[in-house]
A and B are shown apart, each in its own frame.
Chain A
Amino acid sequence: MASQDLAGKVAIVTGGTRGLGLACAHSLANAGANVIITGLNEERGADAVQSIGASTRFVRQDVGKPDDWPTVMAAAAELGDLDIMVANAGISNFIPIEQMDLQAFRTLMNINLKGAFLSLKHATQAMRSHGKGGSIIMMSSVMGRISAPANTHYSASKAGVRLMMKAAALELGAENIRVNAVLPGLIHSDMTAWLDEAETASAFVPVKRFGLASEIADTVLFAASDRSKFMTGTELVVDGGLLAR
């Protein structure tokens, strides 16, 4: 990886205080970008900023709440024109259909689907206003293509993100705003901490290990940089071969 691919670029990573988002923020900052990370937990936000370094700022945000967005966009505008949006914030839980009350369904959808849409919308507004184009990366999942029991809401949200990405790519291509999705498989993070990693990997993952958050960040970096300048509307699968069988 050429080290300063993104020198001087401005990026937002939603859900950037831990897991995949934090790894993405680290990679973008290492490549020279100035990064805004968002999340719900102020303490984790402060820790994340400290671990990444001076060019990074944390803004508290519930991605699914329209009212929380102006502060995020204002913070990014202080750094310059927005070049990169990583719509990463997401939650996961497993609830069987009949036990899922509408509120639980909505809570997940608010973050995973509506949050992704609001990220897309605000990034589009910012990128249109400066007219230089940009790269929007939406975190979908292999669960947006295949599924598992008790995962109706999560799979619906991630399949929704995948297709939303395609619609947006078609709508924004002429303005050189590229929109792509990353589909992680089983990644070592808080979200998968409840799984027996060795057992699950040997049962489901051809390469027999979980991926690392940094391996997702590497792909996000490719999608964020000019090295993928002819790429839009694409699903980047990063899953150790999980979907290949």
Chain B
Amino acid sequence: MTPIDDLKDKVAIITGATKGIGRSTAILFARSGAKVIATGRSEDAGAKTAAMIQAEGGEGLFTRQDVTSEADWKKVCETALSRFGGLDIVVNNAGVFMVKPIEKTSEDDFDWIYQTNVEGTFLGIKYGFDAMRKTGRGGRIVNVSSLMGQVGFPGASAYCATKGAITGLTKSAALEGADITPPIRVNSLHPGVIWTEMITDQFGGDEALQQAFIDETPLKMIGRPEHMADAIAYLASDQSSYVTGSELTIDGGRGAD
């Protein structure tokens, strides 16, 4: 992970920062000098992320948040404004994953994945816009979608539906954000298979599985949370100052196939 000068002193909310891509992003942002508000549901894992931020010499904290709760979003944005003097970046990373054939997917299953992935992202944009307007420095929002927000996958119809929704949500938000002065840029990131608990919880974490993913990937390597952190840093910094409403796919080439 390479630190980015432009992230220095920026205030960033990173959801789902208790593990995986969110945690790596929090560490990279802290290393770059950003003030990180890491959020998630698990206090224990959150405390670990907070310790990692501090180990980077970063000024940041963990706060418990359920991304589907409007009250929690208000509280988190208020923390950014009152404690750090503003908000520059929101990384809507929190997400859940499920593999189930269509006919076995219940309404409860669908609501569960939809609420976190779609409503959680929507609320992050909504309250992010509000806090960024109050801050008056423009802003950058990165929504973590998926390669499965661009192509289908058997057994993942509900997940694909939520990630596709994030793709569309991002473009509309980008158009609204472009009309705010100074503008707020909004982009989506589309990871391929990234070796995190999201994958290992679902499929198991053995070496044979990892090798199978490597074999399926044109670059013949496994995606790591650190790779996504670098991409999020690009989208959240002025290195992408003319990029908005775009889809950034980082998948080792799977989507090109």
Contact = CB atoms under 8 A, between A and B. Distances in A.
Contacts, number: 140
A236 B189 CA distance: 11
A233 B231 CA distance: 15
A241 B174 contact: yes
A232 B239 contact: no
A187 B28 CA distance: 31
Contact of A244 (B171, B234, B248, B254): B171
Contacts of B230: 227-228
Contact of B241 (A173, A215, A241): A215
A173 B6 CA distance: 31
Interface stretch (B36-44, B110-118, B213-221): B213-221
A131 B218 CA distance: 17
B242 interface: yes
Given A169-B256, A207-B183, A222-B234, A238 B242 contact: yes
Contact of A207 (B217, B242, B247): B242
B66 to A, nearest CB: 29
A79 interface: no
A245 B175 contact: yes
Contacts of B65: none
Contact of B221 (A215, A222, A230): A230
B224 interface: yes
B95 interface: no
Contact of B239 (A1, A173, A185, A237): A1
B252 interface: yes
Contact of B224 (A215, A226, A230): A230
A241 B220 contact: no
A113 B3 CA distance: 36
A112 B245 CA distance: 26
A230 B174 contact: no
A229 B229 CA distance: 12
B56 interface: no
B109 interface: no
A239 interface: yes
A218 B242 CA distance: 10
Contacts of B245: 206, 239, 241, 243-245
B1 to A, nearest CB: 8
Best-surrounded residue of B171, B172, B218, B223 (most CB of chain A within 10 A): B218
Interface of B: 2-6, 171-172, 174-175, 178-179, 183, 192, 217-221, 223-224, 227, 230-231, 233-234, 237-257
Given A1-B6, A207-B183, A233-B254, 5 more contacts: A170-B218, A174-B220, A230-B252, A231-B252, A237-B246
Interface of A: 1-3, 5, 166, 169-170, 173-174, 176, 178, 185, 206-208, 211-212, 215-216, 218-219, 221-222, 225-241, 243-245
21 contacts: A1-B6, A1-B239, A2-B2, A170-B218, A170-B256, A173-B217, A176-B220, A185-B242, A206-B178, A218-B241, A225-B2, A230-B227, A230-B251, A230-B252, A232-B218, A232-B253, A233-B255, A239-B245, A240-B178, A243-B245, A244-B175
